[in-house]
Amino acid sequence: MMESCVKVPLKPSVLEDVVEKDKDYALIHGVIMRTRDAPNSSEIISYAPHVLLPSPVPTSLFHQAIDVQTDFNLLLHGVIQDKEFLQSSLKSTIQVDNFTRRLYEIYEAVYVNGTPSQPIQLGLLRADYMFDSPNGKETACEDIKLKQIEINTIASSFAGLGSQLPQLHSYNLQNLGEEKKVSSLPENKAVNGLALGLLEGFKAYGNDRAAILFLIEDVSQNIFDQRWLEYRIQELGQSIHVLRRKFSDVMERATVQENKLFIDDYEIAVVYFRFGYMPQQYKSEKEWETRLLLEKSLAIKCPSIPYHLAGTKKVQQELSRPGTLERFQKLFPDPVASMQKIRDTFAGLYTLDLGEDGDKTVTMAMENPDKYVLKPQREGGGNNIFGKDIVTTLEEIGQDIRRSEYILMDRVRPAVIPNYQVRHGSPVELMDMVSELGVYGVVISKGKEVLYNSNAGHLLRTKSINFDDGGVAAGAAVLDSPYLL
């Protein structure tokens, strides 16, 4: 059983004092967001939603997640190089999921039927995990297991703000007279790790007068998370230009000359996508034409279309099939050890493609819907289906090929811990919460050769047990940092 790092509930007078100091510290030290009422203005800001206390995380599970990340980096590198695997994994999905199909059509045009201008691939990844507690609150710490929820290959956010949480929580612990516990908060260098990854990609491009392009959303409530990364790039890279442009800006003003991508007179070395991961962001054919233009250019894409496809739920489900990892074993210096480390994190993942295997999956889900999660091929949070809604969805689909839009995953029963949520406009109250640990990774390759492979820090997000799904940007989770047990 995991317990709070501080005895709770706090006395009302103590809580009031530490919360007031917490909010001011967050504002002064850049743990901030724009408000929902004015998401495109920095005239009004507030502290980013977070928990008051660092949440307990078993030390062994924290290090397990950190240690396996470079193995996952190599695995995803192998996936993007394996055209046959991507084709076979997604063949059913692209028949029914229009968004994945449009991405795959670009992949086919540039990588299958053509030769890409840029052989260098840059992946900024984040593997997300929960702490499975099969016996609920009565589960002993040594019986809690690390289970992977997903791997994100596009727009993996909150490295900037998340890197500041250990300092905020150290300050809060000191104000509570718990100075000795500060040493149990691991340092978080996620913003440095991702900045170094983008810098390595920039160097690989080979033109120090070029620029890095942040491709951003029309609404940028979370701009300060991106600013932390932008500023760290410039601190580490000195004279490197970092541009922020909306997709509409690129559609209107980007040009390609001799395969080189230009916008506003800047040659672009790296395109860093913080946009383009949801269907509604492609409002017309012009958006798809622009995505193709970027993919065909010499600029290094983060992610490229192959990496974007490698992050689909369907590919992750296929990787979990018995015997599939052996397809990529030559990538690992110690194949047996690496494959075992990866498999140890897998939750059960099951196909819903039409056929015998998919039918078995449907039967499992219909008989025990509370044991599973139904997952579509979507990013951005808030898309998963739970409980009786699984039955309703599968009954409505029946034997239609639309079943291939989804995969089924074992539902993780995460460890529950009490904590205080500090969110603008909401009372600070003690509530039961669950945490999700993300680990960032950077992998850069040129063809089959891996040029750079690194762990790049971590992210802890925590949410009320009343939310089944959704992250910080979706309004469900809040920022956190681990307190190692």
Amino acid residing at 258 = E
Catalytic annotation, pick one of 4, 461, 463, 471: 461
Is there a catalytic annotation at residue 461?
A: yes
Dihedral (CA of 113, 119, 124, 129) sign: positive
Catalytic (active site) residue 178 = no
| Strand pairing class (211-216; 266-273) | parallel
DSSP state of 297: S
Q: Are strands 55-57 and 482-484 parallel, antiparallel or unpaired?
A: parallel
CB atoms within 10 A of CB 285: 9
**Of 237, 246, 214, 239, which is closest to residue 227 (Cα–Cα)?**
214
Residue 367, CB half-sphere, CA atoms under 13 Å: how many?
6
How is residue 165 written in tokens? 């949480």
d(CA 194, CA 451): 15
Instruction: Find the distance separating the first CA and the last CA of the chain, reported in whole Å.
Output: 11
Catalytic residue among 23, 227, 291, 313: 313
Closest to 310 (Cα-Cα) out of 337, 329, 328: 328
Q: How far is CA 287 from CA 75, 100, 105, 151, in A?
A: 30, 15, 14, 25
**Catalytic site residue from 152, 156, 172, 320:** 152
Within 8 A by CB and 6+ apart from 250, the residues are 213, 215, 263, 290, 294
Catalytic residue among 217, 230, 295, 379: 379
Catalytic annotation on 368? no
Separation between Cα atoms, residue 224 and residue 216, nearest integer Å: 12
Residue 239, CA distances (Å) to 190, 213, 272 in order: 22, 14, 18
Is residue 232 part of the annotated active site? The answer reads no
Q: Is 475 left (phi over 0), alpha (psi -120 to 50) or beta?
A: left
Find the catalytic residue in 150, 230, 318, 405.
150
Q: Which of 375, 403, 411, 413 is catalytic?
A: 375
Q: Which residues of 242-275 are buried (b: 16+ CB within 10 A; e: fewer)?
A: bbbbbbebbbeebebeeebbbbeebbbbbbbbbb
Contact 60, 66 (CB under 8 A): no
Active-site option among 23, 34, 126, 413:
126
Catalytic-role residue among 89, 157, 220, 384: 157
CA distance linking residue 53 with residue 274, whole number of Å: 29
Q: Known catalytic residue: 379? A: yes
Is 402 one of the catalytic residues? no
Residue with tokens 């913080």: 274
Q: Which of 380, 381, 382, 475 is catalytic?
A: 380
Asked if 122 and 116 count as a contact pair (C-beta separation under 8 A), the reply is: no
449 catalytic? Reply is no
Active-site amino acid positions:
126, 150, 152, 157, 313, 375, 379-380, 461
